[in-house]
Structure 1
Amino acid sequence: MNAEEIQPGRGLVAAPQAEAAYEGARVLTAGGNAADALVAAAFVQGVVDPHRCGIGGFGCATLFFHEAAGGPGRSLCVDFHGRAGSLARPDVWADLFEGETPDGFGYLVKNKVNDVGYQAITVPGMVAGVAEIHSRFGRMPWGELIERAIPYAENGFRVTPELANFWIRPGLHGRVSTRDRLGHTEAGREICFKEDGEGYQAGEVFRQPRLAETYRRLANEGPESYYRGALAREIAEDWQANGALVTLDDLQSYAPTIREPLSGSFRGYEVLSTPLPGGGVALLQTLALMERRLAGSVPLHNSPAYIEDYADILKRVWSDRLANQGDTSFGTPTDETFLTKEYLDTLAERESPQGGADCPDTTQLTIVDHDGNSISFSHSLGYNSGVFSPGLGILFNNCMSAFDPRPGNANSIAAGKARSTAVAETIVLEEGKPKLVLGSPGAARITAGISQVILNVTVFGMNVAEAVVHPRFDAYSDNTLLLESRFPAKVVAALAGGGWEIIHSPNPFGVVGRVYAAEISSRDPLEVIAGVDPGASGAAYREVPEE
């Protein structure tokens, strides 16, 4: 379903995977709320997009639940980031360091041990994060919700062109290719490749019977099994036998972090997003600096002047994030430090040497239910470690690749530390109630993608369906701009004539983030519009009849 076809109506679920959006909407129809829809949809995502997300991964969520629905009448952030294992010393790879990845989103060490294999794994938080949200707000039984995902694993699903391309993706920015990554373990070779040794093609059916059985165990035994039960022991035994830096004790002690979202303002709206080590600081910095630039006159949308001003800010913000922002529990400055007027004044004058690059290995869920309760939820495997637990079908994250192997920096390794991420799950409030709910995959491109959609709605008067499909841009380095293919030739020529190096992508969508958004256009009666990024095989579904 394209963004233009989605009309106002009651609650909905939007996701890069149509199956996940559909199952989430079915839960809403069955009487569930946003938290219930989240459980079903997130577990379906882990099946149908198995190399980008799943129960071996991590993420975060920003929520708004109304008092009448049993919620706090306010917002909440649930962080379930991957944390370095207790065996991860600050200098564990100091002697193996080879450099930063060219995309600015990771580090290279000898033999790629931080990227692929057991040492690359951090403590997975996805199951705990989803369970925390469900325990606080859910109405329907946990097991019943997970069971909706099991047929996709047991009976299989048709591989999308996007997923088929993943199997043949080369190594990016010094990393390992997908084929070598998924073939790292015997279990991975058995699960991910056909008898002829090839990956799956678009239209072929991909089955994951071991993952189906693990889901069934989680449905019957509950989420505690993953961290403190029989399932945890099986996972940890395999880790220990293969030299992982994470242990059974790490699983048993894991719990999500619950706190208030970051809050900022933009042109009369309140913007809620994820605290550090998430990407909410970068998003709020971008909006604050753009508000300053727009204080006089507002340039024509996507004009050269508008793009140049915006690009300069994006470079400054990304450079600040790389150098200074990290897990505040380990000595880096607090979120608020980076958002003071004085700090923003300094940032506005600072050199801006570096932009970032995209990473396609994250996914998004945007949910608004019939009561207006709203969730922006993201989870990921990073680039994935290539490690599958034998017999369980679980693919684990490779979050250790995003830690700086050099001790003493903001994002250096420490046991229990959460790695820095650009993920910015965001809810924009109007008069104290949700107006926009949005998020995006895309690594360093997340800040540019989400902020441009917010400006498209709040500054340029678009509805969210229009806002998501308009062409987007990002700053790549000192004088380089990345433009989606749909920018007019005159705009491209004017930017090039102004001294910018132009990377004009051949792709029309999904280059600068892949934003999935919902706009609550009316509260009484509730009317919600979805914005679905055409850059992936996604969809938005409303409450649909049970079959």
Structure 2
Amino acid sequence: MKGIVVCPQPRAADIGAEILTTGGNAFDAAIATAFAQMVVDPFMCGLGGMGSFQFFDAASGENGMIDFHARAGSLVTPDMWAADAKGRTEISGYTLFDDFRSELGYTSILTPGTVAGFAEVHDRFCTKSLADLLAPAARLARDGTPVACFAHDFLSRPMMAGVPGGVQRVSATAECQRIHMHPDGRLYHVGENHRNPDMARTFERLVADGADGFYRGALAADISADLSANGSFVTAEDLAHYKTRTGLPVRGRYRGYDVSSNPPPGSGVTLIQMLQILEHFNLRAEGHGSAGHIDLVARAMAAAHADRNQYLADPDFAHVPVDMLTSKARAGEWAEKIKAGEFLGDGKEEPPSCTTHLSIYDEVGNAVSCTHTLGTGSGVVTPGLGFVYNNSMKLFDPCPGTSNSIEAGKARTTGMVPTMLLRDGKPAIIVGAPGGSVIISAVLQAILNIVDFGMSPLEAVTVPRIHCEGGAIHAESRVQGSVCRVLVDMGHEVKQSAISFDPVMSRAHVVEIAPDGSWRGGADPRGGGGMAVAR
């Protein structure tokens, strides 16, 4: 076998596997898969978005990060919205405005980084031409692809109070409505063919002009003219000056593995902290799915989220004490509080977001864990370009003076945690997930299920899941009712979903590499679930 691709979208996974089959490496497959994801899941990811890319280069042994976070436009000011906020969503996190200014439309857009990020991957690691890698996605966009259940679900499911629904999102601009609403004036049904030839043409322009065209060339001129004419805070200068951030992952240890995840403003420090807290406890002895197991995992989640809420920020704008947060000493402090029976966390919760992920491994040992996103999509499409821009303004604090307040050039904090566990310096587990702060919980439990409970990757992403940030324990319907009652008796508030495989719990995607070099994958069944093997 030449490699494996695991991601939420089966047709995108197929394309990545085809690239591996025809001689491409994991990095070639990552770009082809990611651009296909933009076509089949256009409100989860796209050219107008952001992401975090962890790599392991087998030839050099280098394990590094290419972060391409979206950044606030230069026209924002810290206090511009402070007086107009109307509270927060029921699960606090999204600031509410009567006009949805941070959620929909041109004012919700940050300077996108996706094109720059994948261009850097291509320049550094790929063996195939950009034309070859983008051709399958362009073909999908031009010829059309059946609308998938996961794409339809996002636009059709009820949203929490104060958050616009799918029809309102798709109708935010006339161009978005033209592309993403059926000619009959409704959302496309699952299985109906959806075409986006404008996106195909934009991919072809990227092939011709490269990332420079998107940020400083003719494509940039089209983008900046539209944004400027419609009140966006992002300028032509913001595009021209955009840069990725590259460097080392943050690192920790868990039960003999080296844990490698993304640096701030991503949440790798939070994931590592949870793992290192739980290393103080014998989870296997508690039994998977027991009240004792869930209690310990929930408390570790809550503890790490308390530190996340206090310290996580864009390190270009605030000091983030990474060494402290990932230290064994800090984990030990939280573990002692858990052993003493303390209830941890500050009760703050973030709402689920919408993102996508890919995990890839090839026959020579190259590995990729990449999470990329639009937030939930602004509903803005520049006429003729075919792609939706991010709406990441909604995740800033509209009140000045906090670590996550609005500032020009700042990246907002994110729950993305593209992660690898390494054994003897080589990848052993490649994992990540979409879904806001719930990503951290999904990735954590996938790792625990493999390392502590000996599950296969497929079992690890399929068994019932919980989420806790310091308030209630959110549990899927499949968590046993008697276990939930014991948790309540222990002092927890438990909010149990009516859904057995609840997509709100995020969708983890895992590749595990055995000591003998063989590999196997697991694609989360909570929405989509694509795994393709290249032979």
TM-score, normalised by the number of residues in structure 2: 0.95
Give the counterpart letter for 2:149 in structure 1.
P
How far the C-alpha of 1:165 sits from its partner, in A, is 2.6
Sort the Cα spacing of 1:102 and 1:326 in 2 relative to 1 into closer, same or farther, 3 A.
farther
Sort the Cα spacing of 1:355 and 1:519 in 2 relative to 1 into closer, same or farther, 3 A.
farther
Deviations 1:156-199 (A, max 9, x none): 11112222232323443522222111101111111111222111
The Cα RMSD (Å) is: 1.8
User: Aligned to 1:448, what secondary structure does the other structure show?
Assistant: helix
* Corresponding position: 1:268 with 2:259: no
**Is this contact kept in 2: 1:358–1:513, CA < 8 A?**
no
Give the counterpart letter for 1:191 in structure 2.
I
The one of 182, 187, 191 aligned to 1:199 = 187
Deviates more, 1:216-225 or 1:407-416: 216-225
Matched with 2:38 is 46
User: Aligned to 1:330, what secondary structure does the other structure show?
Assistant: coil
Provide the identity percentage: 38
Matched with 1:21 is 13
Distance (whole Å) between structure 1 residues aligned to residue 442 and residue 464 of structure 2: 10
* Corresponding position: 1:387 with 2:380: yes
**Is this contact kept in 1: 2:306–2:470, CA < 8 A?**
no
How far the C-alpha of 1:306 sits from its partner, in A, is 1.2
User: Aligned to 2:316, what secondary structure does the other structure show?
Assistant: helix
The one of 308, 320, 340 aligned to 2:295 = 308
Give the counterpart letter for 2:498 in structure 1.
P
Q: Counterparts of 1:199-278 in structure 2 under 5 Å?
A: 199-278=187-266
User: Aligned to 1:336, what secondary structure does the other structure show?
Assistant: helix
Unmatched 5+ stretches in structure 2 = 338-342
Matched with 1:3 is none
Distance (whole Å) between structure 1 residues aligned to residue 185 and residue 505 of structure 2: 34
How far the C-alpha of 1:504 sits from its partner, in A, is 2.1
Matched with 1:411 is 404
How far the C-alpha of 1:484 sits from its partner, in A, is 1.7
* Corresponding position: 1:500 with 2:503: no
Matched with 1:5 is none
Give the counterpart letter for 1:437 in structure 2.
I
Deviates more, 1:221-230 or 1:275-284: 221-230
Distance (whole Å) between structure 1 residues aligned to residue 490 and residue 321 of structure 2: 38
Give the counterpart letter for 1:38 in structure 2.
A
Give the counterpart letter for 2:48 in structure 1.
G
Sort the Cα spacing of 1:528 and 1:277 in 2 relative to 1 into closer, same or farther, 3 A.
same
How far the C-alpha of 1:302 sits from its partner, in A, is 1.8
Distance (whole Å) between structure 1 residues aligned to residue 367 and residue 406 of structure 2: 34
How far the C-alpha of 1:90 sits from its partner, in A, is 1.3
* Corresponding position: 1:280 with 2:260: no
Distance (whole Å) between structure 1 residues aligned to residue 331 and residue 86 of structure 2: 33
Matched with 2:313 is 326
How far the C-alpha of 1:389 sits from its partner, in A, is 0.6
Deviates more, 1:240-249 or 1:334-343: 334-343
Distance (whole Å) between structure 2 residues aligned to residue 337 and residue 88 of structure 1: 32
Give the counterpart letter for 1:335 in structure 2.
V
Distance (whole Å) between structure 1 residues aligned to residue 100 and residue 334 of structure 2: 34
How far the C-alpha of 1:511 sits from its partner, in A, is 4.3
User: Aligned to 1:530, what secondary structure does the other structure show?
Assistant: strand
Deviations 1:355-377 (A, max 9, x none): 53552510011100111100000
**Is this contact kept in 2: 1:64–1:74, CA < 8 A?**
yes
**Is this contact kept in 2: 1:93–1:109, CA < 8 A?**
no
Give the counterpart letter for 1:473 in structure 2.
I
User: Aligned to 1:367, what secondary structure does the other structure show?
Assistant: strand
User: Aligned to 1:129, what secondary structure does the other structure show?
Assistant: helix
The one of 308, 317, 339 aligned to 2:326 = 339
The one of 356, 359, 382 aligned to 2:352 = 359
Matched with 2:171 is 183
Distance (whole Å) between structure 2 residues aligned to residue 174 and residue 444 of structure 1: 19
Matched with 1:529 is 520
User: Aligned to 2:485, what secondary structure does the other structure show?
Assistant: helix
Give the counterpart letter for 2:408 in structure 1.
A
Deviations 1:311-368 (A, max 9, x none): 1121222232223211011023242232234544555548413253552510011100
Sort the Cα spacing of 1:528 and 1:10 in 2 relative to 1 into closer, same or farther, 3 A.
farther
Matched with 1:4 is none
Deviates more, 1:332-341 or 1:44-53: 332-341
Give the counterpart letter for 2:292 in structure 1.
A
Unmatched 5+ stretches in structure 1 = 1-8
Distance (whole Å) between structure 2 residues aligned to residue 100 and residue 138 of structure 1: 44
**Is this contact kept in 2: 1:355–1:475, CA < 8 A?**
no
Distance (whole Å) between structure 2 residues aligned to residue 224 and residue 429 of structure 1: 35
Matched with 1:490 is 482
* Corresponding position: 1:119 with 2:107: yes
User: Aligned to 1:62, what secondary structure does the other structure show?
Assistant: strand
**Is this contact kept in 2: 1:147–1:219, CA < 8 A?**
no
User: Aligned to 1:223, what secondary structure does the other structure show?
Assistant: helix
**Is this contact kept in 1: 2:417–2:440, CA < 8 A?**
yes
Deviations 1:483-523 (A, max 9, x none): 22222333233223334333222322244221000001145
**Is this contact kept in 2: 1:476–1:482, CA < 8 A?**
no
Distance (whole Å) between structure 1 residues aligned to residue 344 and residue 289 of structure 2: 24
Give the counterpart letter for 1:145 in structure 2.
L
* Corresponding position: 1:150 with 2:142: no
The one of 449, 453, 468 aligned to 1:460 = 453
How far the C-alpha of 1:532 sits from its partner, in A, is 0.9
Give the counterpart letter for 2:534 in structure 1.
E
Deviations 1:455-488 (A, max 9, x none): 111112222222222211112653x222222223
User: Aligned to 2:383, what secondary structure does the other structure show?
Assistant: coil
Give the counterpart letter for 1:491 in structure 2.
V
Give the counterpart letter for 1:188 in structure 2.
C
Distance (whole Å) between structure 2 residues aligned to residue 322 and residue 178 of structure 1: 29
